[in-house]
Amino acid sequence: MDQQFLIELIGYLGSFLVVVSMLMTSIKKLRIVNTIGSVIFTTYALIIHSYPTAFMNFCLVAINVYKLYRIKKDSPHYHVYESNGKDASLHYLTDYYKEDILHFFPDTDLEAVKDCNFIYIVVCDTAPAGFLIGNRIQADTIDVIVDYSTPKYRDTSVGSYLYQELAKNGIRKLQFCVSSVDHENYMKKMGFTQTVDGFVKEL
């Protein structure tokens, strides 16, 4: 394999990664892959002494690094607290988002869930981001009735944060039956395993 072929291969690899990054729906992944592609293409441009091309790609790397820094800095800061069925904020949330909740959990009695013994609410700064309602059936196992994220925070980040916090508090297993196709898709994305009775996730 001659040297010229290797140099051209570096150029094609950089170009390929830049193009592929444009097909990604996640802005963060797009920036990361685009940065890698731009670094490789900058290297290629320097090797072939195409300094304007190298300068342009170097600028793209700098822009991507800055944007990734902003994404990290501006990412939601979640907090979680344990609640109960008498919590007025829980009543407000289930009433305000009732139609949307029932879209994902059509067979759920929202009045009955307030009697559940395991309720966690997630907030982003002071804004409600989601909540999990269920019953503790064992010390480390929760039978989930509602696992809901408000529309503004519906990107799986609320669930990821909440599951980590539950694991820190000794919860090792979540299980529940799901009747909504949309929520089944969410469960699969979050790493739940489908069983005969519903879905199960080990934390």
pLDDT tens digit string along 106-141? 888 888 888 899 999 999 988 999 999 999 998 999
pLDDT recorded at residue 36: 95
C-alpha 28/C-alpha 119 separation (Å) is 32
- Report d(CA 132, CA 121) in Å as an integer: 7
Q: How far is CA 29 from the centre of its chain?
A: 12
- Residue 141 to residue 174: CA distance in whole angstroms: 6
Give the homologous superfamily in CATH for domain 78-202: Gcn5-related N-acetyltransferase (GNAT) (3.40.630.30)
Taking the domains of the chain in order of start, what are their residue ranges? 3-74, 78-202
pLDDT in tens, 47-60: 999 999 999 999 99
Give the per-residue pLDDT at 111. 86
Percent of the chain with pLDDT over 90: 53
4-30: per-residue pLDDT in tens? 888 888 888 988 998 998 888 778 888
Q: What is the pLDDT of residues 32-84, one digit of tens each?
A: 999 999 999 999 999 999 999 999 999 999 999 998 888 777 667 899 999 99
Pairing of strands 173-176, 199-202: antiparallel
Quickly list H helices, 75-139: 88-96, 98-104
pLDDT at 176 over 90: no
* Mean pLDDT (the chain, rounded): 89
The total number of residues written for the chain in this structure: 203
Q: What is the pLDDT of residue 1?
A: 60
Residues 177, 105 contacting (CB under 8 angstroms): no
Mean pLDDT calculated for residue range 184-195: 87
